[in-house]
Structure 1
Amino acid sequence: MKTETIGSAELQIWTVDEVAQAWARNEIVLIDVRTPQEYMFEHIEGALLLPLPFFNAEKLPGQSDKKIVFHCGSGIRSDKVARAALDAGIDRIAHMEGGFAAWKQAGLPFIGTNMATGAPQRVNG
């Protein structure tokens, strides 16, 4: 994990492997900041959807039980959201480096769309 100190706050940049391991152990809340259309087409199973245009850092839950990790398609939007959370007074927040593209490239499972039926289906990477 990389970290960046911004004032008295800490931005954590997690690798896909770090996120996958923490996700499997139920240690994090994974928040997808992509569009609803991107999410409907394919997403990490169980990740919550909070699209960037609707993001309000002041409404985020506390992190006493599970750490919040944001992700997007490539890591750009999740970095932006994480920095907005820090600006709103959250003292530590994380995002996944490389985004969903890196997740898929690592061969990790996700929910995709069956192009023949339009139905969601589990894709094992």
Structure 2
Amino acid sequence: MKTEQVGEGVLETWTVDEVAEAFDRNEIVLIDVRTPQEFMFEHVDGAMLMPLAFFKAEKLPGQSDKRIVFHCGSGMRSDRVARECLSAGMERIAHMGGGFGAWKSSGRPYIGTNMATGAPQRSA
């Protein structure tokens, strides 16, 4: 994990492996900040959707039970959202470096769309 001091807070950039391991242990809430269309086409099974266009950092719950980790397609939007959280007063927040593209490249499982039927299907 890479950390960066941002004002009074700490921005963490987690690797795909760190996210997958913590997600499997139910230690984090994984929040996808891509568009609803991107999410419907393919997403990490069990991730929550909070699109960047509708994101409000002040509406997020605290992190006393589970850490929040954001992700997007490449890591750019999730970095932006994480920085917004720090600006809103959170002390520590994380995002997944490389985004969903890195998740898929690592061979991790996800829910995709069967192009023949349009139905969701497990991939990888």
Smaller-chain TM-score bracket: over 0.9
Q: Cα deviation per residue 1:36-72 (whole Å; 9 max; x = unaligned)?
A: 0000000000100000010000000100000000000
- Structure 1: distance between partners of 2:99 and 2:6: 22
Matches within 5 A, 1:96-115: 96-115=96-115
Shift, 1:8, TM fit: 2.1
- Structure 2: distance between partners of 1:8 and 1:73: 27
- Structure 2: distance between partners of 1:86 and 1:41: 30
1:88 alignment counterpart:
88
Aligned partner of residue 20 in structure 1, secondary structure? helix
Percent identity over the alignment? 73
1:6 alignment counterpart:
6
Shift, 1:6, TM fit: 1.4
- Structure 2: distance between partners of 1:49 and 1:7: 27
Q: Which runs of 5+ in 1 are unaligned?
A: none
Output the aligned Cα RMSD.
0.5
Q: Which runs of 5+ in 2 are unaligned?
A: none
Find runs of 4+ consecutive structure 1 residues off by over 4 angstroms.
none
TM-score relative to the length of structure 2: 0.99
Aligned partner of residue 84 in structure 1, secondary structure? helix
- Structure 2: distance between partners of 1:6 and 1:112: 35
The residue type equivalent to 1:72 in the other structure is: C
1:77 and 2:77 matched: yes
1:22 and 2:22 matched: yes
